[in-house]
Amino acid sequence: MDGTVIRAHQCAAGARGGQQGEALGRSRGGFGTKIHLRAEGNGLPVAFVLSGGERHEAKFLQPLLEIGAVDRPGRPRPRIRPRRLVGDKGYSYPSIRKYLHARGIRITIPRRSDQGLNICFDAAIYKERNKIERLVGRLKHFRRIATRYDKLTLPLFPVPA
C-alpha cells in the first residue's frame, strides 16, 4: 500500500460548479491529486483510489482492500483479501491495526516514534516495499499521470478488458 501526490496542471483546475468528481484538492504546492495504490507482491498494480491532494493515505485503506483481486493459479476464485499488508508509517494507527487483525491480515508496518517499540516488525519483509515505490515511479513517468491534464477522475489510466 502506498500513496503519492500528483500535481494538477493549470487546465485541470477551476471547473465550473466546483470540483466534485474530479479528485482535486488544495495543498501547499497548489492543486493536486493523490493516488492511493494497492500492489501485489511482484509490484503490479491491483487497485487504486483517487482523492484530493490534501487527504491522508490512511483514510483510503479500507476502500483499497475491498476492491481488486489477485488470480491464484489452480484456484477457482481470485483472492481479494491479502495475506499480508506492507505499508509505511502513514498507516500506523491503532484503528488500522485492529481492522487488519480482525480480518486475519498480517501486518508489516513500522510504528511511529510516538507509539513505542516496533514489536514483531520484520525488516526483511519491509524491504520488499521498494516494489511499490518503483511502481509509483513508473506511473509518474507517464505524462498523463505526472501532469494530470484530465478533468474527471475516471479513467486515469486504462483498465484491462
Q: Does the residue 153 lie in any domain?
A: no
Q: Which of 86, 114, 110 is nearest to 100 (CA)?
A: 86
Q: Is 59 contained in some domain?
A: yes
- Please report the pLDDT score of residue 65 as a whole number: 86
Instruction: Tell me if 20 sits within 8 A of 26, measured CB to CB.
Output: no
pTM assigned to the model: 0.76
Residue 102's pLDDT is 93
Q: What is the pLDDT of residues 38-94, one digit of tens each?
A: 888 888 888 888 887 788 888 888 888 888 777 777 777 777 788 888 988 888 888
Model confidence pLDDT, tens digit, residues 123-150 = 889 898 889 889 888 888 877 676 666 6
pLDDT at 98: 92
Start-to-end CA span in the chain (Å): 24
pLDDT at 101: 92
In this prediction, residue 99 has a pLDDT band, given cuts at 50, 70 and 90, of very high
- Total structural domains within the chain: 1
Beta bridge partners of 27: 30
Per-residue pLDDT, 157: 47
Residue 20 banded pLDDT, cuts 50, 70, 90 = low
Range of the domain at 96: 2-71+80-147
User: Per the domain annotation, does 160 fall within a domain?
Assistant: no
Name residue 71's amino acid: D
Q: Is position 105 within any domain?
A: yes
CATH assignment of the domain containing 141: 3.30.420
Could you tell me where the DSSP H helices lie in the chain? Answer: 61-66, 94-102, 123-126, 130-141, 143-147
